[in-house]
Structures are given as C-alpha cells and as structure tokens.
Chains A and B, each alone.
Chain A
Amino acid sequence: MIRVERLRKHFGAVAAVDGVSFEAPDGAVTGLLGPNGAGKTTTLRMLYGLMRPDEGRIHVDDVDAVANPQAAQARLGVLPDVSGLYPRLTAREHTHYFGELQGVSGGRLRERTDALLALLDMREVADRRTAGFSHGERTKVALARALVHDPRNVLLDEPTNGLDVMSTRAVRDIIRRLRAEGRTVVFSSHVMQEVSALCDRIIVIAHGRVVAAGTPDELRAETGQESLEDAFVALAGLAPEGVE
C-alpha cells in the first residue's frame, strides 16, 4: 500500500509537483495519467527515494519513505523512466546483481531469477549479453531486476513506452499478475488505452496537481464524457494554462 499526502517539489521557480495526494491500495493497479511534463515522473522519483520532496509525506506500507528512503526501497520494485542496462552483462547477471544488492542470495536468488525469466519468456536469451537486445527485451530485463526481491509494491514509469505489440502484451500480463498476487501497482502513462485497459483507479495529473481521481466509470460520469479520452482532455483542461 502506498499513501501520498500533499507532495510538493519545486525546480527553481517551477512547481513540478504541487500538492499531490493519493492512495494506492493493495491488490489494485493505480494509474497516474497525465500529459508529458505533468509531474508524473517527478512524483514517482519522490516515491522511490531518489528525489526529496520539499513538502508532504509518503508512506510505503508502514514506512515513512521521506524519513527512511532505504527501508521504503526494500519494499519497492521500480522500473524508472530511464532503465539503462549493462551491455556486457547477461540478462541473468542483471537480475542477480540487483537481487544481491536487495539482500537476496543463494538458492532463493536463483529460483526467483529462473521464475522471472520464465515468466517474461526470456529463458532463451537469459545468458546472452544484453548488448544486442531489442527494446522489448531490454524492458523485460529491467522488469526482472526490479521484481527479483519479490517487492510488495511496484512502481512502473511508462513501462510500455515504445514497445511493440507483443512486448506490450507481456508487460500488461505481468501487471495483471502482480495485481492478482495482491501487490500494490502504480504505473504512469500518457496513453489512454493503456490506463483504461489495466487500471482499477486512475489519478489524473496535470500541471503538478491531481485534477481527478476515481475508477474509469467514475471519471466518465464526473465529466459527462462518453469516452475516457474525452474525459481526460476535459480534465487536463481544468487546470490553468501555464507551465508546459
């Protein structure tokens, strides 16, 4: 479970995140939806402890993530906005490296790695260096290393960005599976179909603020729009002109 209260972050005079609050419950997929530059990535970076909020509180399960980011990181599996790999290491070695840093070792590490690589349909390329991997394969490796320590909470920053149809489908399957296992999944996207296909709850962010939150049906009802896309446009337009 992740709880965010009145989160604020400024870069110079620009308020990138301006009082964001939401709650992402266990066993559900929560989508952060918003146009580019709305503050989704900055919000997630504060959640996974690489940016310090100017104000506000973050709780991951019962851990205060602002005061104790490392304890929060141990409970989080993160696919950041930029997920570069080491071209000279194999897919398996990537998973092992991050697993070991998370404190998983020995037989359990091998089991988790094998299970994840099988789940992601990566068994054939598991022991190849990642240098020649396709974008889809690279994303899968990044997912495997993010999930190797069996985290209760998963943060995915635009996980399907630039993926082909098959890889997108694989990532969606993983997200559904994580939900079925009772985990908290938060993912960000600016793509409407993505969010409507997967999310139990949607947080619409624009200009660093939450402009709407609810189930897809609630959002449609709130705006009086038939399609979710129209609802999104209407909601994003609610915020004043500016920052972008």
Chain B
Amino acid sequence: MTRAVAQAIIVVRKELRDAFRDRRSTYSVLLGSLMGPVLVGFILNGVADRQREVQDVTIPIVGMAHAPALVDWLRQQAGVEVVEGPSDPEAAVRAREHDVVVVIPGDYATRFRASRPVEIRVVSDGSRNVTRPRVQRVRTLLQRYNAEIAALRLVGRGISPAVVQPLQLEDLEVSSAQQRAAVLLNFIPLFIVLAAFTGGMQIATDSTAGERERGSLEPLLVNPAPRAVIASGKWLAAALSSMLSVCITTTLCVAMLRVLPLQDLGIRFRLGPGHVAGLLAGVLPLCLLAPAIQAYLATFARSFKEAQSYMGFLIMVPMLPGVLSTVYPIASQPWMYPVPMLGHHLLLADVLGGKAPGPMVFVASAGVTVFASLALVRLITALLSRERIIFGR
C-alpha cells in the first residue's frame, strides 16, 4: 500500500514537472485562470460607469432666473449639475450638443404664485437611445418637485395630501441586495467552473493520449506498478493543476469585486476571505471530476487529435447551466445540488449571493463528485489494462 502511494507520487511529480516545462501549457493554464477575473473586471466596470453617468446628470436650463427655488432644489439633488441653457434649445438638442434641455418660461413666477400650472418644456431627442436614461432622470426629478410643491399647497389649504393619492405604490423587494447583485455576478461561477476544466486539461490529455501517441506508454507500463497507481498518478497531477487554476481564478475574481466601485451598482456588500473559502469548498471537488472525465475520454481516444476534439465538446457541458441561468434564472431545487456541474454552479452562485447553503449540501455535492471521479479512475485503469488501448487500434 505504501509502495503504491509512493509510486503514485512519483507519477504525479513527473507529470507536473513535464507539464509545467511546456510553456504553452503553462500559459494556457494561466490564461484560462486570468480570463475570468479580467472579463469580470471589464464588464462590471463598464456597467458601473454607465450607472454613474446616469446618476451624474448635467441639466442645461433656459430661463434659470425665472425659477430660483426650482433651480436651487435641483442643485441640491445628488449628482445634478445645473448650467445655463443654450439660446436655441431645439437646435442644440438636434445638433446633439445637449442630451436634454429644460426651458422655464418667463411667466413662471406669476403663474406659480397664482397656483396655475406652469409649462416646463423638456427638450429631448427620442430617437437617441443612449440619452434616454438621462432624459428620464430629469423628468423624474421634475415630477418629484411637482409632487412636493403640490403636497405643500394642499397642506396650506388644510387638505391632507393623501386625499389626492388614492393609490400608493410600494415596491416590496424580496431579494436581498446581495442576491440582486448575484444575478449580475452570475458569470463568475461560470468562469470558476470553466477554470476547473481548462486547468487540468493539458495534463489529462498529454499524459494519456499524448503518452500513447509518443510511444512512451508501453515502456511506462513495463514498470512493476499497478495500472490503478499509474492512472491515479496521472489523474491527480491533472487535478492539482486544475485546483491551481481554480484558486487563481477565484481569488482574483473576489479581489476584483473588492476593488471595483460596486456601490455604484447598488451592490452594498463586501466579499471577504469567507466567500473565497465558501467558493473553494464548493468547487474544489469538481477539480477531481473534470480531469477524471478528460483523462478517461483521452485514454479512450484513438489519437491526441481525437482527444482534443473531445475536450472541445466537453467544455460545453459545464457552460450549459451557467449560460442557461443567465437567460432564465434556474429555480434551484434541492435535488440539483448533488448533480455535478449544475450543482456546482448553484452552490457558487448561492455563496456569492450571500446565502450559502448548510454544510450538508456541500458534503452531498462533494460526495457525489468524488465518487464519480473514483469510478472514472477505475474505468481508466481498466482501459490501461486493455491490449487494444496499450498497443493502439
């Protein structure tokens, strides 16, 4: 038994050394690990920028002097800057010099004092999609001022403002801020799961299909080591590489989320080491399964090329739940958690969403995954004992 373990470690060491000497495979592991965090950074930063732009709105106003109270009120609102409007508002908007212009008429003060409606003109170009959120924000601001003044006037006449408000809309948000953020962050679990697959792929294929294609499998198997030991060593080497990749991706993704100005997205939570631990606890068992599937397929493949084409198809499988869940959010059912890949995706999304399931769920997911991995290693062992596999077909 101890000799078997020692031999497995010898195989693991050799495969890792061999793989990381190959620049291309080292780069592919690193790039695979970095792709996720970098994309996350770009996407979230872009979304946050757009959100900030909407919040920060400059309102050109024509006739500011006619309504100093309104202008003052606007100035007090967060992110609002008021500037002098152009002389010809319609031409300026049409020429795209301004997204929106507010025009205050000269009779504002007289009509206002007489409690008669004042016509405030909001000039905008409805054909330009990009300006729409900003126009909407200006409109909302004016409506809020409108409602405030109306309420004050009613109170001044001894009428409760509630009288003119038969309906009161109240949005009751049941998801926490973290969960809403998790929807936005849904692609992070996808990248982490993908890292589990890309991280071990090189070793899983090179040490099986590659070994046979080079003609080094036959000499290797002439050594007095059980096939199970050889298969386990190759599998573990690939699994370690996969774990390395997953750790890099996870840590960098979380670090990225800490640096980015998430509060601009309405996300008010901070990720910490606890989240990293939760994510890793959820995904690391997959680092055993992914290389086991890859190594099995690659051992079975007739050539290195055939093995690589299998890998191409295989990588689509973990992407399915990730991609589907961004289109229609999956309503998670308890039975889904132990299902490899689907369950891993859900676990990671839950941890990121701030409502990690109990330890039993983690144990169940890990248990099924490890069991499946060991079953696959047994199958690889059986393949390595077949003369057709050793000597080619």
Contact present for B10 and A100 (CB under 8 Å):
yes
**Complex interface bits, B178-220 against A, C-beta within 8 A gives 1, otherwise 0:** 0000000000000000000000000000000001001111111
- A97 part of interface (Cβ distance < 8 Å): yes
Contact present for A74 and B224 (CB under 8 Å):
yes
Most A CB within 10 A of own CB, among B17, B18, B224, B387: B224
CB neighbors of B among A90-135 (8 A):
93, 97-98, 100-103, 129
Contact present for A84 and B219 (CB under 8 Å):
yes
Chain A min CB distance to B232 (Å): 13
Contact among B7, B17, B211, B214 with A101 in the assembled complex (CB-CB below 8 Å): B7
Contact present for B224 and A97 (CB under 8 Å):
no
Chain A min CB distance to B238 (Å): 16
CA of A101 to CA of B7, assembled, Å:
6
- A239 part of interface (Cβ distance < 8 Å): no
**Complex interface bits, A51-62 against B, C-beta within 8 A gives 1, otherwise 0:** 110000000000
> Given A83-B215, A86-B216, A49–B222 Cβ distance below 8 Å?
yes
> Given A50-B387, A86-B214, A97-B10, A80–B222 Cβ distance below 8 Å?
yes
CA of A196 to CA of B110, assembled, Å:
125
Contact present for A80 and B218 (CB under 8 Å):
yes
CA of A70 to CA of B216, assembled, Å:
18
B: contact size bracket: 20 to 34
CA of A103 to CA of B225, assembled, Å:
10
Contact present for B390 and A71 (CB under 8 Å):
no
Chain A neighbourhood of B3, CB < 8 A = 103
Contact present for A85 and B224 (CB under 8 Å):
no
Chain B neighbourhood of A78, CB < 8 A = 219, 222
Chain B neighbourhood of A93, CB < 8 A = 14, 17
Chain A neighbourhood of B21, CB < 8 A = 88-89, 129
Contact present for B222 and A50 (CB under 8 Å):
yes
Contact present for A50 and B390 (CB under 8 Å):
yes
CA of A85 to CA of B221, assembled, Å:
13
- A73 part of interface (Cβ distance < 8 Å): yes
- B22 part of interface (Cβ distance < 8 Å): yes
A: contact size bracket: 20 to 34
Nearest opposing residue in chain A for B230, CB measure = A101
**Complex interface bits, B216-251 against A, C-beta within 8 A gives 1, otherwise 0:** 111111111110000000000000000000000000
Most B CB within 10 A of own CB, among A49, A76, A80, A101: A101
CA of A145 to CA of B14, assembled, Å:
14
Chain B neighbourhood of A83, CB < 8 A = 215-216, 218-219
Nearest opposing residue in chain B for A129, CB measure = B21
- A165 part of interface (Cβ distance < 8 Å): no
> Given A48-B222, A71-B224, A97-B10, A84–B22 Cβ distance below 8 Å?
no
CA of A97 to CA of B10, assembled, Å:
7
Chain B neighbourhood of A194, CB < 8 A = none
Contact present for B218 and A88 (CB under 8 Å):
no
Contact present for A84 and B222 (CB under 8 Å):
no
Nearest opposing residue in chain B for A101, CB measure = B223
Chain B neighbourhood of A101, CB < 8 A = 7, 10-11, 220, 223-225
Chain A min CB distance to B376 (Å): 23
- A14 part of interface (Cβ distance < 8 Å): no
Chain B neighbourhood of A166, CB < 8 A = none
Contact present for A70 and B218 (CB under 8 Å):
no
21 contacts between A and B (CB under 8 A): A45-B391, A49-B222, A50-B218, A50-B387, A51-B387, A73-B222, A73-B223, A76-B222, A82-B215, A83-B218, A84-B214, A84-B215, A84-B217, A84-B219, A85-B216, A87-B214, A89-B17, A98-B219, A100-B7, A100-B10, A129-B21
Known pairs A52-B387, A100-B7; list 7 more (Cβ under 8 Å). A50-B218, A50-B222, A73-B222, A80-B222, A82-B218, A84-B215, A101-B223
Give B contacts to A, CB under 8 Å: 3, 7, 10-11, 14, 17-18, 21-22, 211, 214-226, 387, 390-391
| Closest 8 pairs between A and B when the two form their complex, measured CB to CB | A84-B215, A84-B216, A82-B215, A84-B214, A101-B223, A73-B224, A70-B224, A88-B21
